A and B are shown apart, each in its own frame.
Chain A
Amino acid sequence: DAGVTQSPTHLIKTRGQHVTLRCSPISGHKSVSWYQQVLGQGPQFIFQYYEKEERGRGNFPDRFSARQFPNYSSELNVNALLLGDSALYLCASSLGQGDQPQHFGDGTRLSIL
């Protein structure tokens, strides 16, 4: 069975631009979460979506937004990119919200020039 898939794998943008990252969960998983990981730190929670509704939001500015589609795939959007947005963006899926383990995709490495 396919795991969590993310696209693109790498992306280079300049300051002020906008980016859209995509994620397809494991088949049967209805919850998708997004994380940002900078070098040397653990992943930081950005959003959780379950059944197409936002169920949790981390401490990130409004430039960050996301949505979940009827097929449970998800997009993360970041506007007005800053140098500090350079990071590995991780998507994780789980069967539902709550205590179920989350499984990560390979991530999208975003570099801002």
Chain B
Amino acid sequence: QKEVEQNSGPLSVPEGAIASLNCTYSDRGSQSFFWYRQYSGKSPELIMSIYSNGDKEDGRFTAQLNKASQYVSLLIRDSQPSDSATYLCAVNGRAARQLTFGSGTQLTVLP
């Protein structure tokens, strides 16, 4: 079992729709959770961080965390073509010394 798992996609949604990206993790002691966006040929860009159960909203982005289910998700509302990228889920483990990344979900927003 991979430590952090994401659906590889690709995921396609029409412009204006809600994109839903999911991530599960294996380390029950994980402390902090992050979503990064990576455009092709570029480096990861931090878009959301979440530390406690529930929802956290920032503009069009909402991160959701359920530690009991070891599940974290990212919702993108009113998706735009500029949101087309690979979204990486990252988990800071029990020792909080390293980020473990999923393999990413490729999102395409169709005009």
Chain A interface residue count, CB cutoff 8 Å, equals 25
Is there an interface contact between B98 and A58, defined as CB atoms closer than 8 Å? yes
Among B42, B49, B97, B102, which residue has the most Cβ atoms of chain A within 10 A?
Answer: B97
Is there an interface contact between B43 and A105, defined as CB atoms closer than 8 Å? yes
Determine the chain A residues whose CB is within 8 A of the CB of B44 once the complex forms. 43, 90, 104
How many whole Å from B57's CB to the nearest CB in chain A? 17
Q: Known: A42-B88, A42-B104, A99-B92. Is A33-B46 also a contact (CB below 8 A)?
A: no
Chain B interface residue count, CB cutoff 8 Å, equals 25
A-B contact count (CB 8 A): 57
B31 within 8 A of A: yes
Is there an interface contact between A101 and B98, defined as CB atoms closer than 8 Å? no
B25 within 8 A of A: no
Determine the chain A residues whose CB is within 8 A of the CB of B34 once the complex forms. 101-102
Is there an interface contact between B88 and A56, defined as CB atoms closer than 8 Å? no
Residues of A33-74 at the interface with B, using a CB-CB cut-off of 8 Å, are: 33, 35, 40-45, 48, 55-56, 58
Q: How many Å lie between the Cα of A102 and that of B32 in the bound state? A: 11
How many whole Å from A92's CB to the nearest CB in chain B? 8
A103 within 8 A of B: yes
A107 within 8 A of B: yes
Is there an interface contact between B97 and A99, defined as CB atoms closer than 8 Å? no
Is there an interface contact between A98 and B96, defined as CB atoms closer than 8 Å? yes
How many whole Å from A108's CB to the nearest CB in chain B? 10
- 7 closest A-B pairs by beta carbon, nearest first, are A42-B101, A56-B97, A99-B32, A45-B98, A104-B43, A98-B96, A107-B43
A: which residues have CB within 8 A of B?
33, 35, 40-45, 48, 55-56, 58, 88, 90, 92, 97-99, 101-107
B: which residues have CB within 8 A of A?
4, 31-32, 34, 36, 42-46, 49, 51, 88, 90, 92, 95-104
Other A-B contacts than A43-B44, A99-B51, A101-B34, 8 sampled, CB-CB below 8 A, are A35-B99, A42-B104, A98-B96, A99-B32, A102-B34, A104-B43, A106-B43, A107-B43
Q: Can you offer 6 A-B residue contacts whose CB atoms are under 8 A?
A: A45-B100, A92-B99, A98-B92, A101-B49, A103-B46, A104-B45
